[in-house]
Amino acid sequence: MTGKVLERVHSVRRPAQFSGDGVEDDNDDESKTRKHISLVMRATNYLTRLTTGCNLWPYFLVPSFLLLVLFSSLLIASRSSVCVVSSAYDPVSRMRFFGYQDPDSDFGSLGVPWCRSKHGKTVEWTSKDLLKGLEEFVPIYETRPIKNNMYGMGFDHSFGLWFITRWLKPDLMIESGAFKGHSTWVLRQAMPDKPIVSLSPRHPEKYLKKGPAYVDGNCTYLAGKEFVDFGSLKWGSVMKKHGITDLSRVLVFFDDHQNELKRLKQALKAGFRHLVFEDNYDTGTGDHYSFRQICDQFYIRGGGHSCFKDSDEARIRSRRKKFWEKAVDIKELCGPGEAWWGVRGHMRDDFNHSNKAITYAEHFQNSRFVESVLDVYWELPPVAGPSLTHQNRYDPARAPTPIVEDGRFGLFQRLGLAGLDNSVFNGYTQMVFPLKGSHSRIISDIYDDQLVVAQFIVCCRKFSLVENRLFLLYLLSSSGKQKTKLLMESRDFGY
Ligand SMILES: C[S@@+](CC[C@H](N)C(=O)[O-])C[C@H]1O[C@@H](n2cnc3c(N)ncnc32)[C@H](O)[C@@H]1O
């Protein structure tokens, strides 16, 4: 599976280009406009032809002018009435209302932070592969045993988990957080013959008494009385039992709402490399510390936040909050002391049953740790744009470009997505696939230096470029030990 990751120069975050992908180009939505235009054009051409070469034109001029005015006003009236309706309900119009001509191109004007992959590496699959996968997965999804999976995965993440699993073809699948068993069923669809180990405090069979649930025949359940937390299990003996000698043949899926930094460290300790996290919450939201939150830093585009009430960010956030259920405004984003990282300066864990305030320096160290061990960081895009799915929860400006972009209703329909209930598209939370690199650095060795860098970054936000450089020089001269490290890190931040 290691060889599945390619070094690519292009970021997967660029808008998906599906032309030439073998799927017909669908301009269905433009055709009506074309008809309107051609009617007016035809009327004008007809009148022109009629009046050319004879002296009847004075008799035709006034009526034809009136006709044209009538046509145009009808056209304008019909278009504006569509606009009024669609600006209230259609997310694309909402985005245009906000002044974003191309909201996907840079994740909207707020921008979105991401964890940087080492050496610009990304995943092997392309948008074309995702499209093909969607075509295959929709009929599979229609056969799911649990039709209403409220509090569990919806369509987007089910597809993401199925796609990644099928692509990597692991010999063993591990899941932490099974609920009624929907994700176990998804893993089973991807790999029909491979074993699964499922950890969940409550056994999925318990849900069978109340309604649909899924219990797998080739799955070892560590649930109910046998439940063991992922971090406490002796993974060596589990691997031995399943005859696994190469841990890169194992896929671990987390949907247990635990601090993702904690889970990452536990997975690294056990030697796992391929991890998928279901809920990768945006800064200021969610019940556990996530990769998105961890990597939200000042030096990353769209990262770090302003807590000023009169800032552009505050204005944009409060406007977007009116349209997207999960969008957060500046009041929700910032805690005491202008702490914006994590959730109002807190590192949440275990469905927010545990909650710890952290300093910005700690938060910064966490991101350095994560980025030093990850070879690849890939966020699953939403399957389709909000004007197609009619989802109104997550803000599309804070998500990657959808696989099926807004306006491509023909493709949405051909893939069978239009036949699914709208509610299955409401659960998107940036599922993430972070891949651990084989050359991870030992973090405790570099923490001291990074603390200085963290303070440096906080300072830099307040000063001009010249002052930043002077400050850097001051730091360099005042700390011989940190000299090399600072030089290296400062280059990272673009100074
Ligand atoms: C959101 S649900 C999982 C949904 C499921 N993956 C699906 O697709 O339908 C979260 C699950 O995590 C379980 N859970 C809570 N604490 C856990 C822990 N420490 N380890 C594993 N699972 C845990 C909960 O009992 C619940 O079943």
d(CA 279, CA 287): 9
Q: Measured from the CB, is residue 177 less than 6 Å from ligand 1?
A: yes
Q: Could you please report the per-residue DSSP string of 204-239?
A: GGGGGGTS-----TTEEEEEGGG---TTTS-HHHHH
Q: Is pLDDT larger for residue 91 or for residue 122?
A: 122
Provide mean pLDDT across the span 448-470.
Answer: 35
**pLDDT at 254 > cutoff 90:** yes
CA–centroid distance, residue 116 to ligand 1 (Å):
28
**pLDDT at 353 > cutoff 80:** yes
**pLDDT at 218 > cutoff 90:** yes
Q: Measured from the CB, is residue 330 less than 6 Å from ligand 1?
A: no
**pLDDT at 400 > cutoff 60:** yes
Angstrom distances, CA of residue 101 to CA of 50, 92, 348, 399: 42, 10, 36, 16
User: Ligand 1, closest atom to CA 256?
Assistant: 12
Three-state helix/strand/coil letters over 330-344: HHHHCEHHHECCCEC
pTM of the model: 0.73
For a pocket test of ligand 1, which of 149, 257, 350 has the largest count of ligand atoms closer than 8 A to its C-beta? 257
Q: Is pLDDT larger for residue 396 or for residue 195?
A: 195
Q: Measured from the CB, is residue 124 less than 6 Å from ligand 1?
A: no
pLDDT score for 282: 93
H or E stretch at 357: strand 354-357
Q: Measured from the CB, is residue 165 less than 6 Å from ligand 1?
A: no
Q: What is the pLDDT of residues 403-415, one digit of tens each?
A: 999 999 999 999 9
pLDDT score for 69: 52
**pLDDT at 161 > cutoff 80:** yes
Q: Worst-scoring range by mean pLDDT, 34-48, 143-157, 359-373?
A: 34-48
Provide mean pLDDT across the span 439-444.
Answer: 25
Q: Is 320 exposed, middle or buried (0-12, 13-18, 19+ CB in 10 A)?
A: buried
pLDDT score for 63: 56
**In the chain, domain spans:** 6-16+101-445, 28-94, 447-492
Q: Which two tokens stand for residue 146?
A: 């649990």
Q: Measured from the CB, is residue 202 less than 6 Å from ligand 1?
A: yes
Q: Measured from the CB, is residue 229 less than 6 Å from ligand 1?
A: yes
From 11, 79, 130, 32, select the one nearest 411 (Cα to Cα): 130
From 199, 240, 242, 238, select the one nearest 222 (Cα to Cα): 199
For a pocket test of ligand 1, which of 256, 276, 348 has the largest count of ligand atoms closer than 8 A to its C-beta? 256
